Structure 1
Amino acid sequence: MGMASILSSLNGHHHAACWLVLIGYLLDLADGAVARQLNACSALGAKLDDFADFTTFGIATSLLLRTSDLLDNILCMCYVLSVFVRLCFFSSGIPFMYRGLPCIYSSAILASASLLSGGNMALLRVIAVAMILFMISQNFYPHDRVLESQAWKKVVYAGGIIMLFCSSFPSACMYYLLWSVSYILFPTSLWSSKV
């Protein structure tokens, strides 16, 4: 999804690029559960997962911010670097916890906001800066395996799939936006695996 989103962005298909990031969001939430269910976990798989995360939620998402303006391109680079830092250096050492906002949520917020606002760059710049600050923060966020967790979280995930294929695009975008924002606002009270 990340590679396809990058190609879409480079060819001027901004709408498609955003939807591909959102599909990548759903797939990223499922890939670990599928690998564990199939007993297909490996060190190579973990590295490929990080590569896919960096491609989809770093490079592809940053291209949603790209314009011909120098400052926007600097913002793109800062976004990519914050995803890189988040993926490489922010292991918390605490089981089932991340340090810094996982990049999938910041990408879902940016892609949804871009679709809902028609690509309003002023809004996207503000959101991108906020997401960069959340990703490089020292705050803790739960690593909840959504598909291996409480039934209501599986329903939220299934709702994301249904919204993707069966609803109008504004309601689907709003669904992903609210889902991701709820993870930022209520990480432990709502999304912790202990809930």
Structure 2
Amino acid sequence: MSDFSWKDVANALSLANMILGLFSIFCSFCKKSSCASWMLLISFLLDMAVGAVTRHLNICSKSGAELNDFAVFTTFGLASALLLGVDGPLNGFLAAVYVLAIAFRLCFYSTGTPFTYKGLPCSYASCVLASTSLLTKGNTFILSCMASLMILFMMDQSYYPHDEVLESENWKKMVYLGGVVMLFLSPLSLTAFYCLTWSLSYIFFPDALWGEAACLQLEHGRY
């Protein structure tokens, strides 16, 4: 396939990610939190595929990057925030703060340090909220607590390694494949627990498990 065709593939994946986010928003408005959360978990895995295709083929373009940022904001920002519900003023306020945190986080991504993200990536925060929603059957209090914690992690000045799961060790690829298989073949509660464990391991043990080599390369570059 030509370079132009591969760009179309990457853009199509980003567009599919955004469409899933829009359907998740629709499900949230229809009070179907399980369906909305399930679509966000699909988007979590799809976003990794978009990044892997773009980096592996070196086909990043300005229009493609803008489309991907818009898809990320729609899916991991708006759609994820609506899981909190907007029935009351406190939930609505927290949802608005969450969306603003995503927008602020995307600005850091555009000017970030090589080999790392500055602040927790939006996709992992969304995965935590979607998994928590499925495990707690949409308990708004627990979701609000988790959302507040995710906002703090996204606004944190700590560095998180690039999650190049599909371009790294074989065990990481197996983790990704396990998520895909469980998402479509396992009960939602088991899938949610798997994805929650995966995300929390990245949040609390980023260097030890998911990017030690990248962080060491970054440290050597500083000296």
TM-score, normalised via structure 2 length? 0.83
Which runs of 5 or more structure 1 residues have no equivalent in the other structure?
none
Q: Indicate yes or no: 2:110 matched with 1:97.
A: no
SS in 1 for 2:60: coil
Question: d(CA) in 2 for partners of 1:182 and 1:36?
Answer: 24
* Residue type of the alignment partner of 1:75: L
How far apart, CA to CA, are the structure 1 residues paired with 2:68 and 2:86? 29
Partner of 1:6: 25
Determine which structure has the larger helix proportion and give its number. Answer: 2
Contact kept in structure 1, 2:163 and 2:211, CA below 8 Å: yes
Structure 1 residue aligned with 2:102: 83
Q: Decide whether the 8 Å contact of 2:85 with 2:140 is kept in 1.
A: no
Q: 2:68 aligns to what?
A: 49
DSSP 3-state at the match of 2:160? strand
Matching residue's letter, 2:130: A
- RMSD, aligned α-carbons: 1.5
Q: Does 1:130 align with 2:152?
A: no
Identity, in percent, stands at 52
CA deviation vs aligned residue, 1:5-61 (integer Å, no higher than 9, x gap): 111112222111111111000000111222345564321111111111110000000
**Equivalent residues of 2:37, 2:134 under 8 A apart:** yes
What is the CA-CA distance between 1:91 and the residue it aligns to?
Answer: 5.0
CA gap of 1:14–1:47, structure 2 versus 1, over 3 A, is same
Q: Distance in 2 between matches of 1:130 and 1:92?
A: 24
* 2:82 aligned residue: 63
Report the alpha carbon displacement of residue 67 of structure 1 after superposing the two structures with TM.
3.3
- Count how many residue pairs are aligned between Structure 1 and Structure 2: 195
Distance 1:116 1:175 in 2: 11
Mapped to 1, the partners of 2:126 and 2:112 lie a distance apart of 24
Question: Gapped runs of 5+ residues in structure 2?
Answer: 1-19, 215-223
2:91 alignment counterpart: 72
Asked whether the equivalents of residues 149 and 193 of structure 1 are also in contact (C-alpha less than 8 Å), the reply is no
In the other structure, the counterpart of 1:168 is 187
For residue 103 of structure 1, what is the amino acid of its counterpart? Answer: C
Distance 1:193 1:87, change over 3 A: same
Instruction: Give the drift of 1:125.
Output: 0.9
Q: Is the partner of 1:12 in helix, strand or coil?
A: coil
Shift of 1:144: 2.6
Q: What are the equivalent positions in structure 2 for 1:111-122 lying under 5 Å apart?
A: 111-122=130-141
Aligned match for 1:34, one of 45, 48, 53: 53
| 3-state SS in 1 of match to 2:85 | coil
1:21 corresponds to: 40
Counterpart of 2:211, as a letter, is S
